[in-house]
Chain A
């Protein structure tokens, strides 16, 4: 059973298109995240939701809009894709108030390529 699953695994699209990446976790966690792995392989937080409420919103273009229909899902919609959006995007989840036994569980990543 996959704990954090994100789809699709690969996404190739043209500039200007709108696309979505879906993420679901079956761990019963209350907090979900979207991270972007940049060109230097560094993990950069984009958004964090706790029980469907936005709690972290880093400096991300308005073209990126997260949607959390319930605490088990956090989808990422991207409008008007640009070349610079090409990256690997990771979804993750955790239990917010249990740091002693709640690290982040990551999905396998979505490699987005914008041409």
Chain B
């Protein structure tokens, strides 16, 4: 994997459903993995930053895991609510002097009431 890839590209779920999506990235030269939530007409807001293999982070109904050896991270949303509707972006931070972020294209989540 040369770039950061997110799947699925879009997702429609019913209120109350639990869901998850994937961020895949190159495992070499890894420094950190970021997850952001981006609502329409607003700016991206950080959810999690993870650095260590096996990291798990949780914020309310949203949680994330990290596998740096195989190069993937999962984002889980438990009991989706309409206000969870947004685009979820992941970004991989390269090790090295410039700490460049490589962004995925996002997963667009729509939660139907």
Contacts and interface: CB of A to CB of B under 8 A. Distances in A.
Contacts of B111: none
Is chain B's binding surface mostly helix, strand, loop or mixed? Answer: strand
B34 A104 contact: yes
B87 A41 contact: yes
How big is the B interface, by class?
A: 20 to 34
Given A99-B93, A100-B49, A48 B98 contact: yes
Interface in A65-109: 90, 96-97, 99-109
Is chain A's binding surface mostly helix, strand, loop or mixed? Answer: loop
Nearest to B106: A41
B34 A108 contact: no
Interface of A: 31, 40-43, 45, 48, 55-56, 90, 96-97, 99-109
